C-alpha cells in the first residue's frame, strides 16, 4: 500500500462508516419492532428456523409489521432458541426471551406485538437498564463475563458488513494502517496477548519473527480447524461475527507484510464457511481489502475447507493439507514463521487470538493487560458442557477460578448430584477433581495442575461419570486420529486403548496401571507433535486423582459410577414394582423385560443391553428399577416357563 | 460393506454420465497439487462419495498416481468411498454426548437397522456414521438424521425415527402401486 494514500483512505472509510451508521439509524427509527433470532448452528439445532417461520406466519396473520433479524449465537446454549425483541413503542426495553418454541413465538406476536403484554414469565431479562425488568447483566451468567472476542456475537447480523461497521468494526484496521508495522507488533507484544490455539505462545513475538523472516511472499492463516470433539467456540465466533476475525487477519497481514490470508475452516462447519465467504466478498466489495483495491489494503483472502482430521489443527500438518498432502506434522524448526506454506514465512493463529487483535489496536496494550491474569492477560472462552445447569459458551477474564465458572456462572450441577471432576482441554487436557476448584483459570495454573487450556473444551462431570471410561473415550479418539508417523503415538495409543478396554470390561489385571503409566510417559517422550505428546494426559491425570476408581475396576470388577456397561446390571425391585404396571415393557428396545408369576416385571440379563430406558420409564411413585455394580449383585429372577 | 442392490435400482448415475460430470468439474481447477483436496471435496459434495472412476480422473488431472490420491483421501475423515443411504444418520460421539450415553444411541440405530457404523442398508435407505460434536452439546445426546438435528436422543426416539421413515416409505410404495397405467 502506498502511505501517500492514507488521508484519502481515512476519508473513504469515513464515508463507509457514515453509511453504516445511517442504515442503522434508519432501522432504529423505523417504528417497527425488531425481532432478533439466534440462528447459528446451535440455535438452528434447537429449532430457530421453525421459530422464525412461526414469527413470520403469525405476523402475516395478524397483519403486523416487524423486522426479523437473524443474528449469531450469544453463547447461552441452554436457552436456545434465543430471541430478543426490541419494541420501543411498547415502552419496554429490549427483552431477552429463552426457549422460544414456535408456539411461544406465536404467543409473543399476539400478546406483545399486538397487545403490548410482554409475557414476563418467558422473559429472561432486559438488554438495557430500566426500572421495570431486571437486566440480564445482573445475573451471574452475564455479570461475571467479560466479552472482548464475543462482544458482538448474537447481537449483530453476521451477514451484513454494515452492522459490524456501525458498531465500530474495521476502525482498528484503518487505525493500524496508519501505524508502522513495528508499531503494531510492539503494541501486540506489550499487550501480552498469548495464542488461544492451546499452547499460549506470545502472539507479538510470533508476528515479529514473521516480519523479520525473508521471503518473496508471506501468508497469514487463521486456524479454525477446531478438532476437539467437545469445543465449538471458534465455529460460533465465525458464524456470529466473521468480520472481527477477518479484521484481525488483515491487521496481522499488514504487520508482518503478508499478501495472502487464508481462513482454514473445517468442512463440517458449513454455516461458518458460508459466512466467512460472504464476509470476505462484502469486505472486498466495499474495497476494504482485495487485490487491486485502490487506496486501501492490497491482500487476497481465501477460505480453505479442512477435511476433518484432528491432527490438521497442528500447524505443520495444517500446512501439509493446504499443500494437498496427507496431514502429517513435520519436525520444527524450521517453524512456519520461517518456512511455512509452500516454503514461505507463514503466521498461523487461532480464531480467538485474531479476534482479540482489533480491540487491542483500538484500545491499546495497557487496556488489554489490565484484564485477566498477570502472565495471561485478556479473556478465555470455554464451552462448558456436561452436567451443568447452564451449559454454553462463556467468556471470562483469565484468573477466574474453576469454582466461579462452574458454580456461579454456569449454575452448578443439576439434579442434586455431586460434582466429581472437570475435564479441561479436550483430548490433550486432563481431569481435575474437586480439590482443584480453587485453581485460577490461566495458561500456567492449568498446566501446573496437569490439565491444559487447550481448545477450551470443558466437560463437567457428576458422580455418575466414570473416570476410567472418560479416559478410554479420549484415548480412543486420539488413537483414531493419530496420523501414524511416530511409532509411539501410533502403536502406543493402541496399547493404551487395549488396556483400558480390558479394564472397563472387567478384565483388568494386576500390573495394568503400572503399564499404563510407563507407556504413557514413553508416548509423551517419543512423539513428534502435540497430539502424541498430550494424548496420555487424560490417563495420567485420572490415574493421579482417581486411582481408586481404576483399582475398583480391576480388583473388584466394579464401576463405582455405574457407567461401564459390562460391569453394571439393572434389576427390578419386586418389593416396589407395581403389579400389572407395564411402563417399562414398551421402553425396552430388546424385549428383555418379562412378567413374573405375580404379574410383576423382571429383566432377562442375557438380553439386557443396559441402556437405562426402563429406569427412566418406571413411574416415579414406584421407582423400582435398580442399577448395581458389579453385575452379580443383581438378584436372579427367573423368567417363568411358558405353559 | 453392506450393499447388494444393483446400481440402477438405487438410482446411481451411470458410469458415463459420472465421467462426463467429473470432467466438467475438473475444468474448474488448474492442475496444481494444492487443488487436490478442494477437487475431492467438490466431487463429494456433488456425488456424495468418491467413486473409483472419479479418483482415477483426479489422479490424471493432477498428474499423480491414483494411489497417491487415494492415500490423501483416506487420510481425512470427510471422504467416503461408498454411497451413503438416502437418509444418512449421524450419531454424535463428541465428549458431551459420550458422557450422556451417545454410544447407546449408536447401538440402537445399529440394532434397529441391522448395520454397523460406516455401513449402508441393502436397500440404500439408511447409512450410519459416527461424528464428533455437532455443536449443540447442551442437547446431548444428539443425532443428525438427514439434515435435522435431533436432541435429547433416547432409544425410544430411535425407534420412532426409524419407524417414521418406514411408514413414509410404505405410503409412497402404496401410492406407486395404485398409480393407474403402470404395468404391474
Ligand atoms: C494435535 C493438535 C491439534 C491442534 N488443534 C488446533 C486447533 O484446532 N485450533 C487451533 O487454533 N490450534 C490448534 N493446535 C495448535 C496449533 O498447532 C497452533 O499452535 C496454533 O494454531 C497457533 O495459534 P495461536 O498462536 O493463536 O495459539 C493444535 C495443536 C496440536 C498439536
Ligand atoms: S458432543 Fe455431541 S453435540 Fe457436542
**Does the Cβ of A356 fall within 6 Å of ligand 1?**
no
Domain assignment of residue A639, yes or no: no
Res A642 pLDDT > 80: no
Nearest-CB residue to A230 (from B108, B137, B158): B137
Other CB atoms within 10 Å distance of the CB of residue A302? 12
Q: Is A534 in the pocket of ligand 1 (CB under 6 A)?
A: no
List, in order, residues 6 or more apart from A578 with CB less than 8 Å away: A600, A619, A622, A624
CATH assignment at residue A441: 3.10.20.600
Least confident of A199-213, A334-348, A445-459, A487-501: A445-459
Respond yes or no on whether the N-terminal peptide bond of residue A334 is cis (omega within 30° of 0): yes
* Ligand 1 contacts CB of residue A481 (under 6 A): no
Among all ligands shown, which has an atom nearest to the Cα of A477? 1
Q: Of B75, B62, B130, which is closest to residue A306 (Cα–Cα)?
A: B75
- pLDDT score of A2: 47
Q: Indicate whether A462 pLDDT > 90.
A: yes
Question: Peptide bond preceding B141: is omega within 30 degrees of 0, i.e. cis?
Answer: yes
A317, A328, A350, best to mutate for ligand 1 pocket (most atoms within 8 Å of CB): A350
Please give the ipTM for the structure prediction: 0.90
Domain of residue A521, CATH code:
1.20.1440.230
Query: Would A8 be classed as within a structural domain?
Result: no
* Local confidence band at B103 (pLDDT 50, 70, 90 cut-offs): very high
Residues of B in contact with A46 (CB under 8 A): 136, 139, 151
Residues of chain B positioned with their CB less than 8 A from the CB of A320? none
pLDDT recorded at residue B5? 43
Q: Which ligand sits closest to the CA of B106?
A: 2
* Residue among A322, A423, A470 whose CB faces B34 most closely: A322
Residue to mutate (ligand 2; options B96, B100, B101, B141; most atoms within 8 A of CB): B96
CB atoms within 10 A of CB B18: 18
Average pLDDT, stretch A54-69?
A: 94
End-to-end, the C-alpha distance of chain A in Å comes to 92
Task: State the pLDDT at residue B72.
Answer: 97
Give the residue with greater pLDDT, A529 vs A12. A529
CA A269 to chain centre: 13
Q: Residue ranges of the domains in chain B?
A: 3-75, 87-178
User: Which of B62, B71, B138 lies nearest to residue A385, judging by beta carbons?
Assistant: B138
- Could you say which DSSP state residue A600 is in? -
For A110-143, what is each residue's pLDDT tens digit?
A: 999 998 899 999 999 999 888 888 888 888 888 8
How high is the pLDDT of residue A366?
Answer: 97
Shared domain check, A338 and A243: yes
Interchain pair B78, A268: CB under 8 A: yes
CB contact under 8 A, A230 and B133: yes
Q: Report the pLDDT averaged over residues A305-332.
A: 95
pLDDT for position A4 = 47
pLDDT band for position A358 (50/70/90)?
Answer: very high
Cβ–Cβ of A611/B104 closer than 8 Å? Answer: yes
Contact A592, A604 (CB under 8 A): yes
Question: How much is the pLDDT for B180?
Answer: 63
Gap between the Cα atoms of A55 and A509, Å rounded: 61
DSSP H stretches of helix in A180-303:
181-191, 203-212, 233-240, 242-256, 270-285
pLDDT digits (tens, 9 = 90+) for A23-50: 999 888 888 899 999 998 888 888 899 9
Mean of the per-residue pLDDT values for chain A?
A: 93
Of A213, A198, A279, A272, whose CA–CA distance to A44 is shortest?
A272
B121-142 average pLDDT score:
88
Residue B108 CA from chain centroid, whole number: 19
Position B184 confidence tier, pLDDT thresholds 50, 70, 90 = very low
Strand-pair partners of A385: A459
CA distance A393 to A384: 6
Instruction: Find the residue in B nearest to A465 (Cα).
Output: B99
Are A42 and B138 in contact (CB < 8 Å)?
yes
User: In this predicted structure, what is the pLDDT of residue A89?
Assistant: 86
Model confidence over A5-22: pLDDT tens digits? Answer: 677 788 889 999 999 999
pLDDT of residue A1: 44
The predicted pLDDT at position A324 comes to 96
Of A399, A431, A465, at which residue does a domain stop? A465
Counting the structural domains of chain A, the total is 5
Same domain, A388 and A437: yes
CA distance B13 to chain A (A): 25
Q: Are residues A486 and A461 in the same domain?
A: no
Ligand 1 center to A320 CA (angstroms): 14
Query: pLDDT value at position A5?
Result: 63
pLDDT in tens, B48-66: 999 999 999 999 999 999 9
Residues A256 and A383 in one domain: no
**Nearest-5° angle of CA A243, CA A246, CA A248?**
110
Co-location of A304 and A440 in the same domain = no
Q: What residues of chain B lie within 8 A of the CB of A235, using their CB?
A: 135
> In this prediction, what percent of chain B has a pLDDT beyond 70?
90
Q: How far apart are alpha carbons A271 and A239 in whole angstroms?
A: 7
* Inside any domain, residue A189: yes
Closest CB to A457 among B32, B95, B155: B95
Q: Which ligand has the minimum distance to the alpha carbon of residue A530?
A: 1
How far apart are alpha carbons A310 and A482 in whole angstroms? 8
How distant is the Cα of A338 from the closest Cα of chain B, in angstroms? 20
Instruction: State the CATH number of the domain containing residue A111.
Output: 3.40.30.10
Same domain, yes or no: A396 and A357: no
Q: Is residue A25 part of a domain?
A: no
- The CA distance from A309 to A141, in Å, is 34
pLDDT for A36 equals 95
Rounded Cα distance between B157 and B154, Å, is: 5
Beta strands in A39-190 (DSSP E): 67-71, 83-86, 95-97, 123-126
Determine whether the interchain pair B33/A323 forms a contact, defined as Cβ–Cβ distance below 8 Å.
Answer: yes
Question: DSSP states of A538-551 as a string?
Answer: HHHHHHHH-HHHHH
The mean per-residue pLDDT over the stretch A339-363 comes to: 97
Q: Does A320 reside within a domain?
A: yes
What integer pLDDT is reported at residue A30 of this predicted model?
A: 80
Give how far A12 is from chain B: nearest CA, Å.
36
Distance from CA of A45 to the nearest CA of B (A): 5
Q: Is residue A17 part of a domain?
A: no
Ligand nearest to the CA of A226: 1
> Which residue's alpha carbon is nearest to atom 28 within ligand 1?
A314
- Distance, CA of A530 to CA of A315 (rounded, Å): 10
Work out the minimum CA distance from B177 to partner chain A, whole angstroms: 33
* CATH classification (class only), B87-178: alpha beta
**Number of inter-chain CB pairs under 8 A, A vs B:** 140
Give the residue-averaged pLDDT of A357-376: 96
A541 and A619 together in one domain: no
pLDDT at residue B181 is higher than 70:
no
Claim to verify: residue A221 and residue A350 sit in the same structural domain: yes
Q: Is the pLDDT of residue A421 over 70?
A: yes
Contact assignment for A41 to B135 by CB distance below 8 Å: yes
Residue-level pLDDT at A186: 97
Q: Is residue A508 part of a domain?
A: yes
Mean pLDDT of A348-353: 97
Q: Same structural domain for residues A549 and A576?
A: no
- Going from the Cα of B50 to the center of ligand 1, the distance in angstroms, rounded, reads 29
Cα angle value A449/A452/A454 (rounded, 5°):
175
Q: Which of B37, B40, B138 sits opposite A392 (nearest CB)?
A: B138
Q: Is residue A167 part of a domain?
A: yes
- For residue A583, the enclosing domain spans 568-633
Residues A212 and A354 in one domain: yes
Both A424 and A519 in a single domain?
no
Chain A residues inside the 8 Å CB shell of B64: none
Q: A230-242 pLDDT, tens per residue?
A: 889 999 999 999 9
Same domain, A477 and A458: no
Among candidate residues A497, A526, A555, the one where a domain is terminated: A555
The predicted pLDDT at position B8 comes to: 46
Amino acid at each position: 500500500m502506498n502511505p501517500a494514500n492514507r488521508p484519502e483512505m481515512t476519508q473513504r472509510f469515513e464515508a463507509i462508516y457514515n453509511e453504516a451508521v445511517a442504515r442503522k439509524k434508519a432501522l432504529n427509527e423505523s417504528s417497527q419492532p425488531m425481532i432478533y433470532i439466534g440462528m447459528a448452528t446451535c440455535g438452528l439445532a434447537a429449532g430457530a428456523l421453525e421459530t422464525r417461520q412461526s414469527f413470520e406466519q403469525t405476523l402475516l396473520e395478524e397483519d403486523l409489521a416487524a423486522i426479523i433479524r437473524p443474528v449469531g449465537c450469544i453463547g447461552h446454549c441452554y436457552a436456545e432458541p434465543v430471541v430478543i425483541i426490541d419494541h420501543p413503542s411498547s415502552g419496554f426495553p429490549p427483552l431477552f426471551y429463552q426457549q422460544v418454541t414456535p408456539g411461544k413465538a406465536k404467543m409473543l406476536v399476539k400478546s406483545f406485538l399486538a397487545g403490548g403484554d410482554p409475557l414476563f414469565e418467558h422473559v429472561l431479562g432486559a438488554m438495557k437498564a430500566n426500572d421495570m425488568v431486571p437486566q440480564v447483566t445482573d445475573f451471574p451468567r452475564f455479570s461475571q463475563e467479560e466479552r472482548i472476542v464475543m462482544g458482538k456475537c448474537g447481537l449483530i447480523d453476521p451477514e451484513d458488513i454494515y452492522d459490524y461497521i456501525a458498531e465500530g468494526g474495521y476502525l482498528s484496521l484503518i487505525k493500524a494502517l496508519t501505524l508502522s508495522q513495528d508499531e503494531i507488533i510492539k503494541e501486540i507484544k506489550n499487550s501480552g496477548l498469548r495464542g488461544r490455539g492451546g499452547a499460549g505462545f506470545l502472539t507479538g513475538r510470533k508476528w515479529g519473527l514473521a516480519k523479520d523472516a525473508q521471503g518473496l511472499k508471506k501468508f497469514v492463516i487463521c486456524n479454525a480447524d477446531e478438532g476437539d470433539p467437545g469445543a465449538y467456540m471458534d465455529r460460533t465466533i465465525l458464524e456470529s461475527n466473521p468480520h472481527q476475525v477477518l479484521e484481525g487477519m488483515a491487521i496481522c497481514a499488514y504487520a508482518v507484510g503478508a499478501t495472502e490470508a487464508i481462513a482454514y475452516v473445517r468442512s463440517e462447519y458449513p454455516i461458518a464457511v458460508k459466512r466467512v465467504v460472504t464476509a470476505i466478498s462484502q469486505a472486498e466489495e466495499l474495497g476494504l481489502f482485495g487485490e487491486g483495491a485502490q487506496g486501501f489494503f492490497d491482500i487476497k483472502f481465501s477460505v480453505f475447507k479442512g477435511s476433518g482430521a484432528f491432527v490438521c489443527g497442528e500447524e505443520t500438518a495444517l500446512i501439509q493439507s493446504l499443500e494437498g498432502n496427507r496431514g502429517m506434522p513435520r519436525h520444527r524448526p524450521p517453524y512456519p514463521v520461517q518456512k511455512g506454506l509452500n516454503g514461505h514465512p507463514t503466521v498461523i493463529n487461532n480464531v480467538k487470538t485474531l479476534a482479540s487483535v482489533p480491540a487491542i489496536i483500538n484500545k491499546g496494550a495497557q487496556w488489554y493487560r489490565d484484564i485477566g491474569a498477570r502472565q495471561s492477560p485478556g479473556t478465555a472462552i470455554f464451552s462448558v458442557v456436561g452436567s451443568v445447569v447452564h451449559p454454553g459458551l462463556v467468556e471470562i477474564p483469565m484468573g477466574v477460578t474453576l469454582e466461579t465458572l462452574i458454580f456461579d456462572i454456569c449454575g452448578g450441577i443439576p439434579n442434586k448430584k455431586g460434582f466429581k471432576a472437570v475435564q479441561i482441554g479436550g483430548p490433550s487436557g486432563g481431569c481435575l477433581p474437586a480439590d482443584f476448584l480453587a485453581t485460577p483459570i490461566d495458561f500456567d495454573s492449568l498446566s501446573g495442575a496437569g490439565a491444559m487450556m487447550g481448545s477450551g473444551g470443558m466437560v463437567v462431570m457428576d458422580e455418575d461419570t466414570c473416570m476410567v471410561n472418560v479416559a478410554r473415550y479420549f484415548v480412543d479418539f486420539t488413537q483414531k486420529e493419530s496420523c501414524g508417523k511416530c511409532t509411539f503415538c501410533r502403536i502406543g495409543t493402541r496399547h493404551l486403548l487395549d488396556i483400558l478396554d480390558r479394564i472397563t470390561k472387567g478384565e483388568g489385571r494386576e500390573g495394568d496401571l503400572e503399564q499404563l503409566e510407563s507407556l504413557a510417559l514413553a508416548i509423551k517422550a517419543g512423539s513428534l507433535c502435540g497430539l502424541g505428546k498430550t494424548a496420555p494426559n487424560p490417563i495420567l491425570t485420572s490415574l493421579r486423582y482417581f486411582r481408586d476408581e481404576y483399582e475398583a475396576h480391576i480388583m473388584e470388577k466394579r464401576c463405582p459410577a455405574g457407567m461401564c456397561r459390562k460391569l453394571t446390571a439393572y434389576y427390578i425391585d419386586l418389593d416396589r414394582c407395581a403389579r400389572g404396571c407395564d411402563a417399562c415393557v414398551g421402553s425396552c428396545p430388546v424385549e428383555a423385560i418379562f412378567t413374573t408369576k405375580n404379574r410383576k416385571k423382571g429383566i432377562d440379563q442375557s438380553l439386557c443391553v443396559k441402556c437405562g430406558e426402563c429406569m427412566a420409564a418406571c413411574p416415579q411413585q414406584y421407582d423400582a428399577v435398580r442399577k448395581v455394580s458389579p453385575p452379580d449383585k443383581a438378584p436372579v429372577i427367573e423368567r417363568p416357563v411358558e405353559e | 460393506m453392506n450393499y447388494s442392490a444393483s446400481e440402477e435400482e438405487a438410482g446411481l448415475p451411470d458410469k458415463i454420465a459420472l465421467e462426463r460430470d467429473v470432467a466438467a468439474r475438473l475444468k474448474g481447477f488448474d492442475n496444481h497439487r494444492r487443488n487436490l483436496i478442494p477437487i475431492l471435496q467438490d466431487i463429494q459434495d456433488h456425488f456424495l462419495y468418491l467413486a473409483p472412476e472419479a479418483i482415477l480422473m483426479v489422479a490424471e488431472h493432477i498428474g499423480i498416481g491414483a494411489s497417491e490420491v487415494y492415500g490423501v483421501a483416506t487420510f481425512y475423515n470427510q471422504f467416503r468411498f461408498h454411497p451413503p443411504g438416502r437418509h444418512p444418520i449421524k450419531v454424535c460421539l463428541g465428549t458431551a454426548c459420550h458422557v450422556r450415553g451417545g454410544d447407546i444411541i449408536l447401538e440402537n440405530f445399529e440394532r434397529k437397522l441391522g448395520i454397523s457404523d460406516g455401513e449402508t442398508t441393502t436397500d440404500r435407505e439408511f447409512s450410519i456414521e459416527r461424528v464428533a460434536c455437532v455443536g449443540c452439546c447442551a442437547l446431548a445426546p444428539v443425532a443428525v438424521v438427514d439434515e435435522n438435528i435431533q436432541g435429547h436422543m433416547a432409544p425410544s426416539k430411535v425407534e420412532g425415527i426409524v419407524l417414521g421413515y418406514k411408514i413414509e416409505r410404505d405410503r409412497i410404495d402404496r401410492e406407486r402401486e395404485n398409480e393407474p397405467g403402470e404395468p404391474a
